[in-house]
Amino acid sequence: MQVGGALIQNIDKLISSETNMPVFIANSPLDCVVKGTGKTLEDLEKVKTVLINSRKRNYR
């Protein structure tokens, strides 16, 4: 989990018990979005096809 929601005490345990899936809290949850965005911008050419293709889909 990342961002502010990950800071809620025992939220990982609750989500895990409700979904029967493992849940992990990031070491620095507040920094995850910023770091991920930075990595995306550093390698924009690789990500560009994913971004363009997702915009072409017709969601209903």
Q: Alpha-carbon distance 43 to 60, whole Å?
A: 30
Q: What pLDDT is stored for residue 16 in this prediction? A: 95
From the list 26, 33, 31, 22, the residue with the least C-alpha distance to 6 is 26
Predicted model pTM: 0.55
Q: Alpha-carbon distance 46 to 14, whole Å?
A: 36
Average pLDDT over residues 27-53: 84
Q: What pLDDT is stored for residue 59 in this prediction? A: 58
Q: What pLDDT is stored for residue 57 in this prediction? A: 63
Q: What pLDDT is stored for residue 11 in this prediction? A: 93
Average pLDDT over residues 21-48: 88
Q: Alpha-carbon distance 58 to 55, whole Å?
A: 8
Q: Alpha-carbon distance 54 to 60, whole Å?
A: 13
